[in-house]
Structure 1
Amino acid sequence: MLDAVSAEATMSQYPLLARIQDPVDLRALSSEQLKQLATELRAFLIDSVSRTGGHLAAGLGVVELTIALHHVFDTPHDRLVWDVGHQAYPHKILTGRRDRMHRMRMKDGLSGFPKRSESRYDTFGVGHSSTSISAALGMSIAARLKGEQRHVIAVIGDGSLGAGMAFEALNHGGPLDPDLLVILNDNEMSISPPVGGISTHLARLLSSQVYTSMREGSKTALRRMPHLRELVGRWEEHMKGMVMPSTMFEELGFNYIGPIDGHDMDDLLSTLHNMKAMPGPRFLHVATQKGRGYEPAEGQPVQFHGVTPFDAKTGRMHKKSGGKTYTQIFGDWLCEAAAVEPRLLAITPAMREGSGMVAFSERFPERYFDVGIAEQHAVTLAAGMACEGMKPVVAIYSTFLQRAYDQLVHDVCLQGLDVTFAVDRAGLVGADGATHAGSFDLSFGRPLPNFVIMAPADENECRRMLQTALEHPGPAMVRYPRGAGPGVEIDLQAGVLPIGEAELLRQGRHVALLGFGSRVAPALEVGEELNVTVANMRFVKPLDERLILELADQHELLITIEENVISGGAGSAVSELLAAHGLTVRCVHLGLPDVCQEQASHNEQLHVCGLDAPGIRAAVLSELADLGLDPQLNSALARESA
């Protein structure tokens, strides 16, 4: 890891960047100096992320655009809103956080995404996609109502623009005539023809003061001649439509300019200066290259989207230790199950690589559906497939399933449709922080009717649960954590699990630990040391009521342990069951506290929450002391007490 001293020492390689402590500094630079700054910023970004890991390719693609935006606009008075935030590292470097980049995505360090509490230049906290236009529109409306003169700019990627929320904002915003500039960073999806000389010339022309004055002046002159005004308006849109990708944005009320080359600093500066002076809602289409300026990232932009530390010279990633991840286990199972079950269809909302579906997409392309960043559509699409007798599997991160909650409730569970949800990144996610943590899925899934919820304790159980969900004739969710499991060997012959049946792992005294999913392994470790009972609950819904009631009858204390918020989670379900039967046995819940977990390593986060083995052990000892129970549970505890 690069410490602060060595980080500052490296700045001798970047003499111009070293002078930039604030965007005010770069506004004094000439066009040629800005080009040199772009070269230095790109090199610094590669060096920095190679040491810490993080998001790289997207940021490399917007280096020139980021510089141009901060040069032309008076940020932070003018509001700059980034979508998702993967591309915001250059923005962070230029806005006073360069010397903290060595702590990117680490405990007490910089967030991997724009964050309002981190900098006044981060005008809106992001992490999920397609929110920028809505947020920027809200800021523009607020400024107008308060009588404040400021520009508001939203930067959104082509993938994010495909989500319904972005179009909802465009549809609403155009007629309101806000002072809003939406910039489409088109870096991969090929929604437009390649940038050429004619397109660039047209963009300069249409954004120029002369054209804008003529356009606005003609509107005034033709106000009393509606038929002629309509004719001229149609001619203008027809001419634009002949040489531009689409007049769709014009139909939504935005003055469309572009596409322009997002790596040509002169074109960017000229067009942005012109568009800054234009009134009303504007839409600038900028073509960029993801991974620009770094050959490994240019050749493999998906692989270099989010990276672990790597060799900056060769682009080789440092090898990860550990066994198979839960994501890989899901990917293997998906292919194996599809080979046997022809009705299996797989859906992902733009997370093929992250969800482990590359092999499936190649082996079963006609049964693979990437719907783009459209989580709501993904879930209802699956519901429609299930209506026709298919067996859809929706592979989705826990944090992204939140965006399709109404569809999960109304379109799947209320109708009892046969949809399997493979929910990855459940629980804490380490460096990605609060925006990507899967902290709530047990709580929002538990109230839903007809919904089976499973949480595997290990790799083999994950595979069995996925098959159980697939064969269950109704909606079912398997939620598993990021990364590798405890290292249990997978038994390909193991069958499905009986719905709602837990597993008693060991019998002990006084205390029963009820572990859910990822917390079973540390619970068992503590159980062995302190000689307490441990159960692998497996199912959050339905619970194994028989086992819970037996444990309540045999023990003075039950402790539930889950990697989900305590409120409404699996532990709450246990307490509700005990209350329904009039049982007063003490029940303590260990889980995620009622705060947003900031970025840190996964182990650090678990430790802070008291969900690692030492934390569970401390909780058991504390509760025993409070209840006045004999702490001499076994020889190991006796030695500890002494």
Structure 2
Amino acid sequence: MTQTPTTPLLDTVHYPADLKAVDDKLMPQLAEELRAEMIDAVSRTGGHLGAGLGVVELTIAIHKVFDTPHDRLIFDVGHQCYPHKILTGRRDRIRTLRQENGLSGFTKRDESPYDPFGAAHSSTSISAGLGMAVASELEGVKRNVIAVIGDGAMSAGMAFEALNNAGSLDARLIVILNDNDMSIAQPTGAMSAYLARMASGRTYMGIREVGKKLTAYLGKNIDRAITRAVEHARGYVTGGTMFEELGFYHIGPIDGHNFEHLLPVLRNVRDNSDGPVLIHVMTQKGKGYAPAEAAADKYHGVNKFDVVTGAQAKAKPNAPSYTNVFAEALIQEAGFDERIVAVTAAMPSGTGLDKFGKAFPGRCFDVGIAEQHGVTFAAGMATEGLKPFATLYSTFLQRAYDQVVHDVAIQRLPVRFPIDRAGFVGADGATHAGSFDVAYLACLPGFVVMAAADEAELKHMVRTAAAYDDGPISFRYPRGEGVGVEMPERGQILPIGKGRVMRQGTKVALLSFGTRLAECLLAAEDLDAAGLSTTVADARFAKPLDEDLIRQLATHHEVLITVEEGSVGGFGSHVLQFLAMQGLLDGGLRVRPLAMPDIFMDQASPEVMYAKAGLDRKAIVETVFKALGTHAAAGFAGTVTPLKP
């Protein structure tokens, strides 16, 4: 265990108000101590490291200059919020990050008043900040609203929609563009800092406003021409022409690790600006920690690690990860079919498409944080005979739902949707849990919806999707390792809408959709031991349903339990609809659909989350006994006793 760092100055700062008493000259020392505290905390819990290290100085400067939480500070995505949490009364819990009953790895409204907006997905900060700024104006409350957005998040259309709206409303909104990766423009040292201070100062901004008023008397056309000429001229020096065109006053780029640059600019903007302002700040991911500086991608999100060496603790896998199985299967199929292409939205490594991109660089497309565009882009390729695999996390696909409906489903275009991170995701909590994709896809006419029960099934589904040309098709798989089944050399083409029976019984039927199949098989052993002969089936398809299989299970068993790692409205709901319409519930069949509970569940280990959700072995067995009005004797000794009324 590493020794907790010594932080004498940071120890005096419990809340942002305490920063007011700290001399500006001591800010670099405070930044060094805050960085050390964050590195130590994340080394013990794992989490997002690089982004937070890059905004240490910026976070300190914002809290020192502005009056949070009265002034609203919004971090886009939230990956970079750990220093913010330490400075806002949560330092005593920082080593519970992403743990059960601990601090969230993202900003969260019910965690602290210093988190005015919860964020874990990208590109929402400017929209939310604009809403807060307008609300403050309508309520007559004077406050600053500051949105910190990374350059990657600026690739999303939503960010530009918000910028465009904010410029037209002329609202009091401060957007800080944290340029830590794309290198939109390089700061030019002392001259850049001098220009930023001048441009944000009272004199320049005052002259600018007077100039606007004077030219207004000359008519709108002349006013507009002169104003744009001035801003274009300044844009050539500061690089802000695009943002000026959107109605923002642009400042920067400035060095985001230099307090002599940051503090004067932030104070000038606080004291002198009325309309929307964009401050372009240059930072370095992983700043101050050599391993993270050298490999920003590997230290974006980390497991527990040794602070001295940077080595991350990784358990030896018992089976390949689902993501790797998908990537290798897609590469294999692409070798047989040159029409296969892959699309991702800023997550090539997270989805495994970085491997596909290396194998087929001309057939892999990263569209940036632009899921809506990515889906319609794939639809366009499908119209020309290509076989696009639009590969997204379940929760990210939500952002493109209209495109899935309008641009893909209605036109019955054969876009393939590999859906990663299906089900609970552990430490990332509710924001990244793949809960809803079955419900929101299986309701669409003509959509084929599959779920892999294990890594071999995933390989079959990749090939099935590649061969399917009659419309859109999706298949979901979870985060983490497979279950260790024997892998086929190549996947098989599955018959559409057909499941499989894994073991045969006579009294109880467990119908699984997805990777809860392993728990169903274990539960069946317990039920058999209790004298309840149990069938276990793998549905494979939520749409189209295997109606023959379901009819057989309903007709020849007393109890039918559906089990899925998705929300109500998904697979179980479709099974119940079919049973009801076919009159298969009229004969006394006891059906119990097990799905994710109707809550947003906070972070914990996946095992704990599945137990809380009632989707593990024990809960499945208990559901069967409750359906029968009995409970098992201790140890499932093969006897059953009635439940007390």
User: Shorter-chain TM-score: which interval?
Assistant: over 0.9
Name the amino acid aligned to 1:337.
Answer: E
Answering whether residue 269 of structure 2 is matched by residue 257 of structure 1, we say no
Structure 1 residue 248, shift from structure 2 partner: 1.1
* Contact 1:429-1:602 within 8 A present in 2 as well: yes
Structure 1 residue 200, shift from structure 2 partner: 2.0
- For residues 229 and 541 of structure 1, do their structure 2 counterparts lie closer, same or farther at Cα, with a shift above 3 Å needed? closer
Of 145, 169, 192, which residue of structure 2 is paired with 1:152? 145
More deviation, 487-496/516-525: 487-496
CA distance in 1, matches of 2:396, 2:428: 13
Q: Which residue of 2 aligns with 1:374?
A: 370
Structure 1 residue 636, shift from structure 2 partner: 3.9
Q: Which residue of 1 aligns with 2:547?
A: 545
Of 305, 308, 313, which residue of structure 2 is paired with 1:313? 308
Structure 1 residue 266, shift from structure 2 partner: 1.2
More deviation, 193-202/67-76: 193-202
- For residues 547 and 63 of structure 1, do their structure 2 counterparts lie closer, same or farther at Cα, with a shift above 3 Å needed? same
Aligned to 1:121, the other structure's residue is in SS state coil
* Contact 2:240-2:250 within 8 A present in 1 as well: no
Q: Which residue of 2 aligns with 1:103?
A: 96
Structure 1 residue 509, shift from structure 2 partner: 3.2
Structure 1 residue 533, shift from structure 2 partner: 1.2
Name the amino acid aligned to 2:473.
Answer: A
Name the amino acid aligned to 1:439.
Answer: S
CA distance in 1, matches of 2:603, 2:633: 39
Structure 1 residue 180, shift from structure 2 partner: 0.5
Answering whether residue 35 of structure 2 is matched by residue 31 of structure 1, we say no
Name the amino acid aligned to 1:580.
Answer: M
CA distance in 1, matches of 2:334, 2:315: 29
Structure 1 residue 212, shift from structure 2 partner: 1.2
Answering whether residue 575 of structure 2 is matched by residue 574 of structure 1, we say yes
Name the amino acid aligned to 2:570.
Answer: G
The residue correspondences of 1:412-491 to structure 2 (distance < 5 A) are 412-473=408-469, 474-491=471-488
CA distance in 2, matches of 1:262, 1:573: 53
Structure 1 residue 466, shift from structure 2 partner: 1.1
CA distance in 1, matches of 2:95, 2:293: 24
Name the amino acid aligned to 1:212.
Answer: M
Of 358, 365, 378, which residue of structure 2 is paired with 1:362? 358
Please, which runs of 5 or more residues in structure 2 have no aligned partner? 529-533
Q: Which residue of 2 aligns with 1:281?
A: 276
- Listed one character per residue, the Cα deviations across residues 84-126 of structure 1 (whole Å, up to 9, x for unaligned) are 0000111001001011011111111100100000000000011
CA distance in 2, matches of 1:452, 1:392: 15
- For residues 457 and 178 of structure 1, do their structure 2 counterparts lie closer, same or farther at Cα, with a shift above 3 Å needed? same
* Contact 1:45-1:90 within 8 A present in 2 as well: yes
CA distance in 1, matches of 2:243, 2:44: 41
- For residues 596 and 417 of structure 1, do their structure 2 counterparts lie closer, same or farther at Cα, with a shift above 3 Å needed? same
CA distance in 1, matches of 2:21, 2:515: 54
* Contact 1:530-1:636 within 8 A present in 2 as well: no
Aligned to 2:391, the other structure's residue is in SS state strand
Task: Calculate the TM-score normalised by the size of structure 1.
Answer: 0.95
Q: Which residue of 2 aligns with 1:533?
A: 535
Name the amino acid aligned to 2:93.
Answer: R
Answering whether residue 305 of structure 2 is matched by residue 304 of structure 1, we say no
CA distance in 2, matches of 1:465, 1:202: 57
Identity among equivalent positions (%) equals: 53
CA distance in 2, matches of 1:139, 1:28: 29
* Contact 2:78-2:106 within 8 A present in 1 as well: yes
- For residues 640 and 486 of structure 1, do their structure 2 counterparts lie closer, same or farther at Cα, with a shift above 3 Å needed? farther
Of 602, 617, 622, which residue of structure 2 is paired with 1:618? 622
- Listed one character per residue, the Cα deviations across residues 277-303 of structure 1 (whole Å, up to 9, x for unaligned) are 211110100011011111111111111
Q: Which residue of 2 aligns with 1:117?
A: 110
* Contact 1:185-1:285 within 8 A present in 2 as well: yes
Aligned to 2:251, the other structure's residue is in SS state strand
Count of residue correspondences: 631
Q: Which residue of 1 aligns with 2:287?
A: 292
Aligned to 1:637, the other structure's residue is in SS state coil
The residue correspondences of 1:114-193 to structure 2 (distance < 5 A) are 114-193=107-186
* Contact 1:195-1:287 within 8 A present in 2 as well: no
CA distance in 2, matches of 1:635, 1:607: 19
Of 506, 511, 516, which residue of structure 2 is paired with 1:514? 511
Task: Calculate the TM-score normalised by the size of structure 2.
Answer: 0.95
Q: Which residue of 1 aligns with 2:531?
A: none
* Contact 2:304-2:313 within 8 A present in 1 as well: yes
- Listed one character per residue, the Cα deviations across residues 114-152 of structure 1 (whole Å, up to 9, x for unaligned) are 000000000001111110000000000000101111111
- Listed one character per residue, the Cα deviations across residues 330-353 of structure 1 (whole Å, up to 9, x for unaligned) are 111121111111011110000011
Q: What do you get for the CA RMSD once the two structures are aligned?
A: 1.9
Structure 1 residue 641, shift from structure 2 partner: 9.7
Please, which runs of 5 or more residues in structure 1 have no aligned partner? none
Q: Which residue of 1 aligns with 2:558?
A: 556
CA distance in 1, matches of 2:337, 2:635: 50
* Contact 1:195-1:261 within 8 A present in 2 as well: no
- For residues 195 and 303 of structure 1, do their structure 2 counterparts lie closer, same or farther at Cα, with a shift above 3 Å needed? farther
Name the amino acid aligned to 1:47.
Answer: D
CA distance in 1, matches of 2:361, 2:16: 47
Q: Which residue of 1 aligns with 2:231?
A: 237
The residue correspondences of 1:599-638 to structure 2 (distance < 5 A) are 599-625=603-629, 636-638=637-639
* Contact 2:343-2:390 within 8 A present in 1 as well: yes
* Contact 1:508-1:527 within 8 A present in 2 as well: no
Aligned to 2:516, the other structure's residue is in SS state helix
Answering whether residue 65 of structure 2 is matched by residue 63 of structure 1, we say no
CA distance in 2, matches of 1:456, 1:496: 13
Of 318, 324, 327, which residue of structure 2 is paired with 1:328? 324
CA distance in 1, matches of 2:210, 2:63: 30
Name the amino acid aligned to 1:291.
Answer: G
* Contact 2:148-2:175 within 8 A present in 1 as well: yes
Structure 1 residue 494, shift from structure 2 partner: 4.5
* Contact 2:629-2:642 within 8 A present in 1 as well: no
Name the amino acid aligned to 1:251.
Answer: E
Structure 1 residue 373, shift from structure 2 partner: 0.1
Structure 1 residue 606, shift from structure 2 partner: 0.5
CA distance in 2, matches of 1:633, 1:79: 56
Name the amino acid aligned to 1:101.
Answer: I
More deviation, 409-418/241-250: 241-250
Aligned to 2:99, the other structure's residue is in SS state coil
Q: Which residue of 2 aligns with 1:76?
A: 69
CA distance in 1, matches of 2:246, 2:501: 60
Structure 1 residue 162, shift from structure 2 partner: 1.2
Aligned to 2:496, the other structure's residue is in SS state coil
Answering whether residue 595 of structure 2 is matched by residue 591 of structure 1, we say yes
Structure 1 residue 219, shift from structure 2 partner: 2.3
- Listed one character per residue, the Cα deviations across residues 497-553 of structure 1 (whole Å, up to 9, x for unaligned) are 111111111112321111111111100111122121111111111111001101111
* Contact 1:355-1:396 within 8 A present in 2 as well: yes
CA distance in 2, matches of 1:539, 1:422: 14
Name the amino acid aligned to 1:614.
Answer: K
* Contact 1:133-1:182 within 8 A present in 2 as well: yes
Q: Which residue of 2 aligns with 1:500?
A: 497
Structure 1 residue 34, shift from structure 2 partner: 1.5
CA distance in 1, matches of 2:190, 2:417: 48
